[in-house]
Every structure is written in structure tokens, then in C-alpha cells.
Structure 1
Amino acid sequence: KISVYRKMRLLFLLLCCTVAFSCCKAVEEKETNDAYYSLWEAQKFLLEIVWHVQEPVALPECQDVEFVNDAVQYTKFDSDMQRFVQDVQHQCLLPRNDFFSAVVRTHHQQVLGLYKLLTYAKDWTLFKQNVCWARTHINPGMFVYALNLAIRRRKDCEIFELPPIYEIFPQHFFNSEVIHRAMTVSKKKMEMAQKQTHANNGTVSERSLHDWQTWQWWKLMGLSDQHWYLDTEGSVAKRDGLTKYWTPVDYTRDVYILNDETRLSYLLEDVDWNANWYEFNLNFPPFLEDEELGAHHHKRSAERWIYEVRTIMTRYNLERLSQGMKPIAD
């Protein structure tokens, strides 16, 4: 009887342990799922906050949000932040319709204050509130620049990203012709252009070449510079299930008109080239103190900066040589 009793107690103990373990595992899984959901919501918010950034914000949580200027709510509150608060109170902010440049002294003073107000916010809730306020009241270029800087330096934003700058401000990276095509495009026209291309089997009609110029490379392919074409061969589009379109664009037509530098328009107006330069300056902002830069970069970051600048200049000088131009001296 004693042996049976002990076995029953042992069995009951094992059953309790199993139930407890299952409950702990369920709680752990729930906490993990909640954490993933919170991260997903945060990333979704950052993507939506820069969507059509030059238009009024449409997010419900960003309506009628007030600016937080209480120094207690920040881990640090220095003179740059105080100056920005004064600019807000005196309504001296850069107008929303003006062009922003981080190399303009008055612009970078304001963006530095805004960046610190976003970066030194004590928690995500305050950070989000400041972002919502800035989205409505701050110049779009300044807002995106400060937000990009902040999410690179806040520990709770390290895994988040914003869209490429040419997706946020396409008008600064594409010429007016491309922007106009994108604004007036219709799915029906794209389908018709695709059918016409397939019908011609890639052959070039005599009509399309009657006014052909040497820089019109797309006409030799039987394409029109007035249409968008569906990318059916792109591996990225197939892998991610995207619908990808492309259109011919030329940046070498009017060379030599303004000055000799326009020979390099194919490089200087390249979208990825300019986006890379924007990202580079976000990683090494010229107006941040050494202490702040050192806290977010490797101790040999200065060497990395020199290396990247030299790489860019080497490529630029190679392109100059290819066009019969003298390289720029170091």
C-alpha cells in the first residue's frame, strides 16, 4: 500500500510539473508574440509616418498631438534643445514649403535640436508623440532627416528602418518627365504597352526610328519613352511577389549645354549614387559632437569616413578620366 501511495504521489507531482511547464511555455510564447507584434507595429508606424510626407498626416494617433517641452521627460536637455523650443514658441521654424539643406547654418541648428528631442525622449511613447507632432509642424525635409538620425541612435529603434530617400522624395531624384509619367500612368495603358511589345517581338518599327537620335537607346529596343513596362523577368519581383514596372529615362541628352560637368550627368544624377551620399552623411553628420559620434561608431570610425570619401572620389575621378576631363586633386 505504501508503495502504491508513493507511486500515486510521484505521478501527481509529475502531472503538476507538466501542467506548470505548459503554462510557463504558453506565457513565454504569448510574451514573445506580443513583443514581435509591438515591433511590427512600431516599424509600421515609422513607414506610415513618412508616407506622402508633404501632405497632411492621415494617422489617427497623430491628430491634435501637442509638443512636449518639459525637460524632465528627456534624458538630456541641452542648449540646442532649448533653442529649438524657443524657435517653436516664437514660430521661427523653417516653413514647410521651403527647401531644407543640412549644410545651411540656420537649418542644421534647428534640425540638431529636433534630432535631440527625438533621440533623448525617455521612452517610445514620448518619442512617438514627438514624431507625430513634428510630422505636422516641421518642414518635411528636416523632419525626415532628423527622424533618420534619431532611429540610428535610439536603442529602441536600432532594428527599424525608413524607406530609401528617393522613395520619400522622388521629385529630388527623378526628372519632371518621369514624375509626370508616374502621376498620369494607368494600368490599362501599361497593359496595352506590354501587349504591343510582345506583338512586335522586340523588333524595331520604321516609324519609331524616323526621328531616332544616338542617345535614344530605348528606340533600338522597340520601346517608347512614354510608357511603363511590366518587369516579368526580375528575380526580386518574382521572389517577393511584387508587381514591378520600369520606364526608359535618359540623363545624357543635353550634355555640354551648361558646362563641362554635365558630361557626368549620368553619374551625378544617378539615383543610387545620390541616395548613397545621403546615407553616408546620415552616418557621419558634420554637426554632431565627437562624443555623440563616438558613442554610436567604432573607435576607428574616422578612418572609415576617410576610406569612404576616398572611394567616392576615386570613382568620380575615374568617370572624369573616361570623359577626357582632368581628375580633381586631393
Structure 2
Amino acid sequence: MSGVQYKVADKVFLEKQKDILRLFQHVHQPTYFKDLIEVAKTFKFEGHWDQWTKPEYVKEFWQFYQEEDFLKQDEIFSVFHPDHLKQAIALFKVFYYAKDFATFYKSAVWARQHVNPGMFVYALSVAVFHCKHTEGIILPPIYEIFPHYFFTSEVITKAKQYKQHYWGTYKHEVELKEKSGYAINADYTKHTEEWMSYFTEDIGMNAFYYYKNIFMPFWLDHECIRFDATKRGEWFHYYHNQILARYYLERLSNGKGKIPTINYEEPTQFEYYPALSYFNGKPFPARPKNAKLNLDVEETDSSLKHFSYCYTKVEDYERRIREAIDMGWVYTPEGKIIYLYTQEGFETLGKI
């Protein structure tokens, strides 16, 4: 194709690509590559701070890692949990501020063996996207790394049984079975809008959305972003509207009409039973029909005290955004007025 620039990958790049891909294999168990096991054993942070351009961030991570409340390997990582996010950002900076690829890779190998797999995959994925040492490296599909998030527990169980059966007792028949193939039927999860499951639970669409968030994390500092971040808010607004417009078209094609608005004071009419399980066996939370969004969750579970009355915060944010759009301007934290109906204003609105 004329005008398209491309570069033939050299041996050095291909070795990098291979090394990165190996880090994502079977992340819920210790690596079985002997060279990675040796690197993880010999790699040291203390006394080697000069391997990073900003060692203060590495020291911060090392301090987090030694604390009692550092996320354990068998726990569930969430980027929306304040403590998890704080630790993940610290780990990302260990990768990002490495002086060379060797330090980047060795620190990733160490983290692969010692850090929660969810946190590891998230921090490393963001780092691969934005670090200069890994430019051009392609990440594996997220549904191959974490299939539990995309396939029901029944599918995962059948896949395990198939592997144990044909790679265990009948290992000599593997070649024959691979030729004939083996299919596992996967049902969609159960919820009110099952007629839209083909879209809302589409693996490709959900992977697309995941990598959009990896490419542009809400917490990432401008100095760490590899692309031009001057249109960050506009881009955020654009690709969310792409997904919303497609969802609207799918509703219309199914004869379901406009997208209904949500009244936070009224019980939700849409139940959701994911039929998914995390890697540690715990089921995904379900939502029954007529669930009250304004429930004080702290009354039912004290560990969720950070999320008490979240619906009132959401309502407040929505109200403030609507009022800002109606007025046509917003205040910055410094008291400056930014008019929304300008180029700078639309970028500000996108960030909000």
C-alpha cells in the first residue's frame, strides 16, 4: 500500500517480543521457564537503585511490597480499589523508569514470580504500551491471559477436563484429537437483556474496550504517555460514543427502541447472573432483579464502607456536569473559568 510506513522486525526486536510473551503464559502459576526462575531468584532491588532513572519510585514500590497489606497473590485485583491501584502504579513505575530493556525485563520477571497476577498483568501491560524500551511490542489477547473473565465456569471446567483427559491418561492420542478438533459450547450469562448478549458479551468488543483503558489509563501522568495527550479527554469522549452508538443501533435492530434512562432511586429492572468465577474459585457477584442501588452497603458488609452511598455521588457528578454544559463553562481548581464551547473547553469536558 502506498504511503504506509513499515519496518521489518530485526532479531533484537523479535527476541524482545518473545521474552514479553513468555511473561504472560500461565500467570496464575509460577513460571516453568528455567532461565526466568533463575532471574527471579537473583534479581535484587536494594543496592541496585542506579538501574532506574528515578530510583525514588522504585524505593516507594519496594516499601509497599514489604508492608503487611500488600496485595497477596491469591487475592482478586481491581484497578478501582484505591490500595490496589496505588500499588499497581508503583509497580508500573518500576518498569517505566528502567534505564534499559535488561532492567525492564528482569524486574518484570521478578514481579511475575512475586506479585499478584492481576496487578502484574495490568502494570506490565500499561508499561509495554508506553515505555520506550518496548515500542512496537504486541501484547497477547487478554482473553488468553484471563479466560475466566470471558467464559463461564462451565466452559472453563470442561476445558480443564479435556486437557486433563487427553494430556494425561491418553497423551499418545493428542495428535489424533487435534486433527479432529474439540468444541465446547458456551452459553451467554443470564440477565434481562439476553437478546443483546451477542454484543455486550462479545469477546472482541470487550477486549477492545480493555485495551483502550490500558492504552489510556485514567491515572497515567502526562510525562509517561507515549502519544500526544493534548486530546486525551476528546479521545475518551469519542471512543465511548462509538461504543454507545453501536449499542443503540443494535437495540434499534432488535426492536427495543431508545436506551432507557436510569433512576437511581428506583430498583433496577435488570438482573445479572454472570456464571463466571475468578481464578481462585470465587464466583463473580450477581445482581438480582429489583436490586436497590441506593442501599447502604456498609450495613450489609463493613468491608465495603468506602462504597457507601456511591449512588448519591454519581447523581451529584451527573448533576454538576449537566449544569456545567447548560451554563457553558466550568471552574478549574485554581478558580479559572474555562468555556466549554471552545477547543480547550471540549477537551476539559472530556476529561471531566
TM-score, normalised to structure 1's length? Answer: 0.65
Q: Deviations over 1:249-306 (max 9, x none)?
A: 2317x44xxxx3455333332211211111010011011123433x433533432221
Partner of 2:159: 182
Contact 2:49 2:58 in 1 (8 A): no
Question: Given that residues 93 and 110 in structure 1 are in contact (C-alpha distance below 8 angstroms), is that contact kept between their aligned partners in structure 2?
Answer: yes
2:237 to 278, 294, 306: 306
Change (3 A) 1:289 1:268: same
Find the counterpart in structure 2 of residue 75 from structure 1. 53
**Which residue matches 1:264?**
196
When residues 106 and 263 of structure 1 are mapped into structure 2, their CA distance, relative to the original with a 3 A threshold, is farther
Counterpart of 2:188 in structure 1: which amino acid?
Y
Q: Which amino acid aligns with 1:279?
A: Y
The change in CA–CA distance for 1:275 and 1:65 in structure 2 (over 3 A counts) is farther
Q: Residue 107 of structure 2: which of 130, 134, 143 is its match?
A: 130
For the structure 1 residues 177 and 111, does the alpha-carbon distance in structure 2 shift closer, same or farther, using more than 3 Å as the test? same
Match of 2:67 in 1: 90
Distance 1:318 1:67, change over 3 A: farther
Within the candidate set 200, 205, 208, 1:273 is matched to 205
Unaligned 5+ runs, structure 1: 1-32, 195-228, 231-244
Q: 2-side partners of 1:49 and 1:325: how far apart?
A: 46
Which segment drifts farther, 138-147 or 65-74? 65-74
- Distance change >3 Å, CA 100–CA 159, structure 1 → 2: same
Which residue does the alignment assign to 2:216? 284
Question: 1-side partners of 2:178 and 2:133: how far apart?
Answer: 47
1:42 to 11, 16, 31: 16
Q: Give the aligned CA root-mean-square deviation in angstroms.
A: 3.0
Match of 2:187 among 240, 250, 258: 250
Name which structure has the greater RCO, CA cutoff 8 Å, separation 6+. Answer: 2
Residues 77 and 319 (structure 1 numbering): CA distance in 2 closer, same or farther, change over 3 Å? farther
Q: Which residue of 2 aligns with 1:235?
A: none
**Change over 3 Å in CA distance of 1:108–1:281 after alignment to 2:** same
Deviation at 1:177, TM superposition (A): 2.1
SS at match of 1:304: helix
Q: Structure 1 pair 326/158, CA: closer, same or farther in 2 (3 Å)? A: same
Question: Residue 95 of structure 2 contacts residue 104 of structure 2 at CA under 8 Å; is this kept in 1?
Answer: yes
Larger Rg: 1
User: Are residues 1:54 and 2:28 paired?
Assistant: yes
Q: Residues 225-245 of structure 1: CA distance to partner in whole angstroms, max 9, x if unpaired? A: xxxx74xxxxxxxxxxxxxx6
The Cα of 1:158 is off from its aligned counterpart by 0.9
1:164 and 1:327 mapped to 2: Cα distance? 30
Relative to total residues, which structure has the larger helix share, 1 or 2?
Answer: 1
Question: What SS is found at the alignment partner of 1:146?
Answer: helix
Q: 2:151 aligns to what SS in structure 1?
A: coil
- Partners of 2:145 and 2:241 lie apart in 1 by 28
8 Å CA contact 1:318, 1:327 repeated in 2: no
Q: Partners of 1:189 and 1:50 in 2: how far apart?
A: 24
The TM-score with structure 2 as length reference comes to 0.61
Partner Cα distance (2:144, 2:233) in 1 = 30
Distance 1:263 1:37, change over 3 A: same
Match of 1:114?
91
1:327 and 2:264 matched: no
Instruction: Establish whether residue 142 from structure 1 lines up as the match of residue 73 from structure 2.
Output: no
Deviations 1:170-192 (A, max 9, x none): 11111122222322234969978
Structure 1 residue 324, shift from structure 2 partner = 2.3
Deviations 1:136-161 (A, max 9, x none): 11111111111111111122211212
Say which SS state the counterpart of residue 100 (structure 1) adopts: coil
Deviation at 1:168, TM superposition (A): 0.8
Q: Alpha-carbon deviations, 1:49-80, whole Å to 9, x = none? A: 111111111222222133425442211245x5
